[in-house]
Structure 1
Amino acid sequence: MKLTSDALSALPSIRHGFFTRQGGISGGIYESLNCGVGSHDERAAVTENRARVAAALGVPAPSLATPYQVHSADAVIVDEPWLPGEGPKADAVVTARPGIAVGVGTADCGPVLFADAQGGVVGAAHAGWKGAFTGILEATIEAMEQLGADRSRIVAVLGPTISRAAYEVGPEFRERFLDADAANARYFEPSDREGHHRFDLPAYIGARLSANQIGRFEDLALCTYADPERFFSYRRTTHRGEPDYGRLLHAISLAP
């Protein structure tokens, strides 16, 4: 049900989890730990699944705060949790309040959990290509610094994300990255289709974080697309022609 990072597990007073699709009560294409409020799954099942995630982190269900994700570069500070589905439009959440778990949902995009244990600040970011490209990772670090974190102490961990092997993109996609920085060519390799490439989102996320001089970056190196038993995947769902898809939840908290 829950995957953990050695880097985050070594930190005192930090609880975290990259949750798989296993261990919940949803059925059908949402089987079984679908935590996506925006999916068409039964709301009662999603609510129970989110409660199980909260319990695994040692917080009450109402203390799990996730944003209304819009592929933005906006990070928000959480002082008080909100009801599921009623969070602010943002793609990262940070807090210095013990007992609140901040989290994000994904189904191929990169979930990044952040912690400065000494400063007592944690965060979670939803980093798809657009968010990573426009600055969601940097925004998360800056929001944590507002709460007293020091970037040189921050540990950031990338959870299950679509891998380069499964992420084919068209020429316009690649051109956008090259226009921003010619060095971004290193994240692309030609695919079998003429004019198309495979994009290494995990490597791009790691490079953006490292460039911001954080203390440590870890990549769990797990591909959502290639592992249907453990992970939901938007792209896999699209290729299969399924009507909807579940969302994985990834969260972190300061122990009360």
Structure 2
Amino acid sequence: MADAVEVIRAGLLKGVPHGFLGRKGGVSTGDVAGLNVGLGSGDDPAAIAENRRRATEAVLPGARLATVYQVHSPDCVVAPAEPWPDADRPHADALVTDRPGVLLGILTADCAPVLLADLEAGVVAAAHAGWKGAVGGVTDRTVEAMESLGARRERIVAAVGPCIARRSYEVDEAFHDRFLTDDEGNAVFFAAGRPGHHQFDLEAYVTARLARAGLGRVEALGLDTYSAPDRFYSFRRATHRGEPAYGRQISLIGLP
């Protein structure tokens, strides 16, 4: 792996310390080689700690990193000025803050990371939107939490980072029917696949949910985690390859 941490930035978040990171620039080895930050990945804890330090320094040097115990829920929490110890992280899938020096982190390995900001209010947020959290409303809850700190949704801008693309995301009929039961209009996020299966566009679905919530502008980066093994971790790719472990990448946003 290259020594430098790759930081992918969104145009809409210009002026806000942020970044969608992949696997480049870390110290982990083996199946999770690179910048693996997943506490539950089975990786060497010392390597994970060093990777998290490198990630933080690449985006907001000296910041205090706040993460949650992600459970594919719609729940969002306000990060405290002094982030929780790892053992005490709340079960949630999104964080918001208006505190300078706090860096919000969301881990993914195919799910969609979403970074949001209202620059005028000085409020930022990060959300983990897997399909369960996305259909359950994690992005809506995140916007509401931002508003509780003084943000206004028409001023909020958001970016959807690297996630599994439709061409790589095959789902079955039950998955397809779950979304259409929620809203028949969700049919637009599916393309025909092999018999009894469909290809789901998670990025487009999350982007549409954000737009429907009334956000000012939304940017989708269009980066597929599954098809770029040298750049991103992917749970589905690791499963298809029969690998015993998979890494997690981190997406970060904070206030200086």
Q: TM-score, normalised to structure 2's length?
A: 0.96
Specify the alignment match of 2:241 in structure 1: 240
Q: Give the one of 50, 53, 65 matched to 2:52.
A: 50
Q: Give the one of 115, 130, 136 matched to 1:128.
A: 130
What is the DSSP-based 3-state SS (H/G/I as helix, E as strand, rest coil) of the residue aligned with 1:246? coil
CA RMSD of aligned residues (A): 0.9
Amino acid at match of 2:178: R
Amino acid at match of 2:8: L
Specify the alignment match of 1:173 in structure 2: 175
On the 8 A contact 1:73/1:135 being kept in 2, the answer is: yes
Query: Are the structure 2 counterparts of residues 125 and 202 from structure 1 closer, same or farther at C-alpha, using a change threshold of 3 Å?
Result: same
1:187-211: CA deviation from partner (whole Å, max 9, x where unpaired): 111112x110000101100110000
Specify the alignment match of 1:84 in structure 2: 86
Matched, 1:213 2:218: no
Give the Cα–Cα distance (whole angstroms) in 2 for the partners of residues 85 and 67 of structure 1: 10
What is the DSSP-based 3-state SS (H/G/I as helix, E as strand, rest coil) of the residue aligned with 2:240? helix
Q: Matched residue pairs, number?
A: 250
Q: Could you tell me the percent identity over the aligned residues?
A: 52
What is the DSSP-based 3-state SS (H/G/I as helix, E as strand, rest coil) of the residue aligned with 1:210? helix
User: What stretches of structure 1 of length at least 5 have no aligned partner?
Assistant: none
1:75-129: CA deviation from partner (whole Å, max 9, x where unpaired): 0001231223531000000000000000100000000000001100000000000
Give the Cα–Cα distance (whole angstroms) in 1 for the partners of residues 151 and 203 of structure 2: 24
Give the Cα–Cα distance (whole angstroms) in 2 for the partners of residues 85 and 236 of structure 1: 29
Give the Cα–Cα distance (whole angstroms) in 2 for the partners of residues 201 and 22 of structure 1: 24
* Runs (4+) off by over 3 Å: none
Amino acid at match of 1:132: A
Specify the alignment match of 1:5 in structure 2: 10
Q: TM-score, normalised to structure 1's length?
A: 0.96
Give the Cα–Cα distance (whole angstroms) in 2 for the partners of residues 86 and 134 of structure 1: 24
Q: Give the one of 147, 150, 155 matched to 2:157.
A: 155
> Shift of the alpha carbon at 1:57?
2.0
What is the DSSP-based 3-state SS (H/G/I as helix, E as strand, rest coil) of the residue aligned with 1:151? coil
Give the Cα–Cα distance (whole angstroms) in 2 for the partners of residues 37 and 154 of structure 1: 31
